[in-house]
């Protein structure tokens, strides 16, 4: 699949992946200085890119496992969604889950982008739904093991 991408500034980097088997393409901080993220706070980091994701697909922005597990930094919304109609700069709201200020280095890989297919759904309003064994059982209703 081809996805058209545009750099918005000289600091921007085209997303890359570690190898041919990687689903995620790394997104980079388009900054020329370090960004400080205070404890339990969010900072929006620009990537300096915009793209035209094909209709029928969306971009999912996930945490990079290294900075999430080793530095407690993750996307604030856990998974960001970039719609195919969006043409603005791709930005990542990073959250610091730790009690210490953390830094993002200039040009650092901050998240990963996975382009995913989705279906367009038509919702049909009805008066009743079919019964299931679970029924209205909510959180934890299927047991622990």
| Distance in angstroms (rounded) separating the CA atoms of residues 48 and 89 | 6
Structural domains for the chain: 4-103+113-117 (2.70.40.10)
Element containing residue 94 per DSSP (H, E): strand 91-96
The pLDDT of 118-141, averaged and rounded, is 89
Which residue matches tokens 């901050």? 110
**pLDDT (tens digit per residue) in 43-88:** 999 999 999 999 999 999 999 999 999 999 999 999 999 999 999 9
């Amino acid at each position: 699949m081809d996805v058209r991408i545009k750099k918005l500034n000289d600091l921007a980097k085209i997303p890359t992946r570690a190898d041919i088997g990687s689903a995620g393409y790394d997104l980079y901080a388009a900054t020329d200085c370090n960004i400080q993220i205070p404890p339990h706070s969010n900072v929006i980091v620009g990537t300096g890119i915009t793209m035209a994701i094909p209709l029928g697909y969306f971009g999912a922005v996930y945490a990079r496992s290294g900075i999430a597990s080793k530095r407690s930094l993750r996307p604030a919304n856990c998974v960001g969604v970039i719609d195919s109609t969006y043409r603005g700069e791709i930005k990542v709201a990073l959250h610091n889950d730790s009690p210490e200020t953390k830094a993002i280095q200039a040009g650092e890989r901050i998240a990963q982008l996975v382009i995913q297919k989705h279906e367009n759904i038509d919702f049909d309003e009805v008066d009743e739904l079919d019964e299931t064994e679970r029924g209205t059982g909510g959180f934890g209703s299927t047991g622990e093991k």
